[in-house]
């Protein structure tokens, strides 16, 4: 490669909005994102940070684990409350039009390369690209920010810098940076990082937004300015192979764990035990099926969640028709297991539960009979 690199970011010209009709309109932006399968959550008015938690969730020691706020339709705990539910989206942004829009990267299947252009002291040569020895004949004169380090990494790999990738959605930030949006490969759960972090990192002043994080949606306006798409692309392109290799090399793809069996949620287990007296075929049959539903939480997709929930609901309907289980208890225990496995998909789960119960009630289930 050449001994000198032009550390210049292309200033791509193109439309500066997602759509002329939605830029700066949070509800429309949220609808636009959700329509692409990207779960959304509110950001604090005029800011790029999540909207605040309710008083209970702000208590010392409280965490998102086991919190009922997301299931109750509240936006507590930021990206963990992100949803595709149209009714909830209308409620959040329709009633609070000043909220911004964040996208939960992991559930959306997105990997965002967040390129910064902050004025800061340039680190030593061996800290610019973690794990890479930059050849001594490469002239780094003028290197000053993340646009330069990601361009350097791409040049060393014989690839196009993400900042110049016109095939994918790129979003200018108010601080002069750039968000480059990519679609993750199926089955890959990439992790976040910061370019100056002590752990995993891709490049100095280059952050990665993926699983366990969120990104400000294009079209969002904050007190600092607008997040405006750059160039012609309005959809994320697949994550380039070379960049996926670099992310894996730098620890952004942790070892995949084989999930173990998931227990039935505590309240659901209690309801089942109460319905079956803690004994008998009714309680045992429904508990086993609910465990299958609850276990889907360990697998984001491809776990046959709909089929498992439908089977559990059908069995519960048969138990209701035979007098072994109360209708209210059946609905409650099924909803509990479904919300545990697929938070944010209440409407979909409710439809499956209703259909399964209705069908099951047409065939009373005798104890010991298999469905």
Domain boundaries, the chain: 26-249, 266-361
| Greater pLDDT, 329 or 103 | 103
pTM, to two decimals: 0.64
Alpha helices in the chain (DSSP H): 26-34, 86-95, 105-108, 146-156, 241-249, 266-276, 280-294, 305-321, 327-341, 346-361
What's the pLDDT at 333? Answer: 86
What's the pLDDT at 278? Answer: 39
Q: Is the dihedral of CA 277, 282, 287, 288 positive or negative?
A: positive
Average pLDDT over residues 264-269: 52
What's the pLDDT at 298? Answer: 66
What's the pLDDT at 160? Answer: 95
Identify the band that residue 204 occupies on the pLDDT scale cut at 50, 70 and 90. very high
| Greater pLDDT, 53 or 16 | 53
What's the pLDDT at 3? Answer: 32
pLDDT tens digits for range 209-247: 999 999 999 999 999 999 999 999 999 999 999 999 999
pLDDT tens digits for range 92-109: 999 999 999 999 999 999
Identify the band that residue 371 occupies on the pLDDT scale cut at 50, 70 and 90. very low
Percentage of residues of the chain with pLDDT beyond 90: 45
Give the residue among 116, 236, 229 at the shortest CA–CA distance from 177: 116
Instruction: State how far the Cα of 182 lies from the Cα of 358, in Å rounded to an integer.
Output: 42
Give the range among 199-213, 243-257, 285-299, 348-362 with minimum mean pLDDT.
285-299
CA geometry: angle 174, 178, 183, nearest 5 deg: 130
Task: Identify whether the C-beta of residue 236 lies closer than 8 Å to the C-beta of residue 110.
Answer: yes
| Whether residue 273 has pLDDT greater than 70 | no
| Greater pLDDT, 319 or 167 | 167
Average pLDDT over residues 294-319: 77
Average pLDDT over residues 174-203: 87
What's the pLDDT at 302? Answer: 57
What's the pLDDT at 6? Answer: 36
| Greater pLDDT, 219 or 263 | 219
| Greater pLDDT, 158 or 300 | 158
Instruction: State how far the Cα of 355 lies from the Cα of 310, in Å rounded to an integer.
Output: 8
| Greater pLDDT, 293 or 243 | 243
Instruction: State how far the Cα of 302 lies from the Cα of 339, in Å rounded to an integer.
Output: 17
């Amino acid at each position: 490669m050449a001994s000198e690199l032009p550390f210049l970011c292309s200033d791509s010209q193109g439309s500066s909005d997602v759509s002329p009709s939605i830029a700066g309109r949070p509800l429309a932006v949220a609808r636009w994102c959700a329509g692409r399968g990207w779960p959304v959550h509110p950001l604090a008015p005029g800011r790029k940070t999540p909207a605040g938690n309710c008083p209970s969730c702000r208590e010392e020691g409280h965490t998102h684990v086991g919190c009922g706020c997301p299931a109750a339709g509240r936006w507590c705990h930021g990206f963990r409350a992100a949803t595709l539910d149209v009714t909830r989206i209308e409620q959040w942004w329709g009633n609070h039009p000043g909220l911004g829009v964040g996208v939960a990267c992991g559930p959306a299947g997105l990997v965002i390369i967040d390129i910064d252009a902050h004025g800061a002291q340039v680190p030593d040569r061996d800290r610019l690209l973690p794990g890479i020895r930059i050849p001594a004949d490469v002239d780094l004169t003028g290197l000053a920010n993340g646009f330069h380090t990601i361009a350097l990494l791409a040049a060393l790999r014989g690839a196009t810098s993400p900042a110049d990738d016109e095939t994918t959605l790129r979003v200018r930030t108010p601080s002069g940076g750039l968000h480059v949006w990519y679609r993750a490969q199926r089955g890959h759960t990439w992790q976040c990082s910061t370019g100056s972090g002590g752990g995993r990192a891709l490049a100095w002043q280059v952050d990665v937004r993926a699983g366990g994080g969120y990104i400000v949606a294009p079209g969002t306006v904050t007190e600092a300015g607008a997040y405006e798409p750059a160039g012609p692309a309005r959809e994320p392109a697949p994550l380039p192979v070379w960049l996926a290799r670099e992310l894996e090399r730098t620890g952004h793809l942790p070892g995949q764990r084989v999930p173990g069996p998931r227990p039935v949620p505590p309240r659901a287990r209690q309801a089942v035990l109460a319905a079956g007296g803690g004994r008998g075929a009714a309680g045992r049959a429904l508990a086993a099926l609910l465990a299958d539903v609850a276990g889907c939480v360990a697998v984001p997709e491809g776990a046959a969640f709909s089929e498992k929930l439908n089977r559990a609901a059908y069995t519960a309907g048969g138990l209701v028709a035979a007098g072994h289980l109360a209708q209210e208890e059946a609905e409650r225990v099924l909803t509990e297991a479904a919300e545990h496995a697929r938070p944010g998909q209440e409407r979909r789960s409710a439809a499956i539960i209703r259909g399964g119960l209705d069908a099951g009630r047409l065939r009373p289930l005798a104890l010991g009979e298999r469905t």
